[in-house]
Structure 1
Amino acid sequence: MNVNFEYDDVKASNRLEIMAAEKLQKLVDKFDFIVSADVFFKKENTADPNTGLICNIRLSTPGSTLFALASHANFETSIADSVSDLNRQLEKRKAKLKMRY
């Protein structure tokens, strides 16, 4: 699977890329129909100190694209939250695929 990383107002980080890639690899191991992933890291000024570091993940699968967004005080939590959301979406997608066949 190909993973693309993009940064908006954030310095590129190998640590964040490795963490995101490891979590995404767990999804790929569980759901073999994932084609590629785009991971976006963004810093946003907010009044709430518990938000502002955003991780968006877009997964390409046959027939559709899945998307998750999380904003927390650190990127690690945002990555974990986005991957958790995608896992739920993939479970639903897999259930629909099984019902069709």
Structure 2
Amino acid sequence: MKVNIQFVNMSTSETMEAYTLSKLDSLVKKFDKIIKANVFFKKENDSKDKGVICEIELSAPGPRLFASSNEKNYELAVKNTIKDLQIQLKKRKGITKPYM
């Protein structure tokens, strides 16, 4: 799987990249048809409680999958976004049937 991580309006973080890659790796182990992942981290100063946005777009057979979360820290944002993608992938896996 090819992963593209971008930090928008903020400095890059190697620890955040490593954390995100480990979470995506666990996702790929469960769902092997994922081809590519685009990850965007954004920081907003407008929100009072939250303001850290994580957006992940997955390329797999069929329509692209997208999930986003706005949380108070990066780890929580990645965790919630991955959880949303797992739900979408489970639905897709239940719909698609392998043909032999």
Identical aligned pairs, as a percentage?
Answer: 43
SS of 1:87's equivalent in the other structure is: helix
Aligned to 2:33: 33
**Which blocks of at least 5 consecutive residues in structure 1 are unaligned?**
none
Aligned to 1:16: 16
TM-score by length of 1: 0.93
Task: Write the distance in 2 (CA, Å) between the matches of 1:71 and 1:40.
Answer: 12
Shift in Å, 1:48: 2.2
Alignment of 1:25-64 (within 5 A): 25-49=25-49, 51-64=50-63
Task: Write the distance in 2 (CA, Å) between the matches of 1:40 and 1:5.
Answer: 6
Aligned to 1:69: 68
Task: Please give the per-residue CA displacement for 1:17-71, whole angstroms capped at 9, x wherever unaligned.
Answer: 111111111111100110010000000122322x100000000001210001011
Task: Please give the per-residue CA displacement for 1:54-101, whole angstroms capped at 9, x wherever unaligned.
Answer: 000000001210001011110110000000000000000000012x74
Corresponding letter in the other structure for 1:73: K
Task: Write the distance in 1 (CA, Å) between the matches of 2:77 and 2:47.
Answer: 17
TM-score by length of 2: 0.94
Corresponding letter in the other structure for 1:48: K
Task: Write the distance in 2 (CA, Å) between the matches of 1:66 and 1:12.
Answer: 24
SS of 1:64's equivalent in the other structure is: coil
Q: Which runs of 4+ in 1 moved over 2 A?
A: none
1:40–1:47: structure 2 CA closer, same or farther, 3 Å change rule? Answer: closer
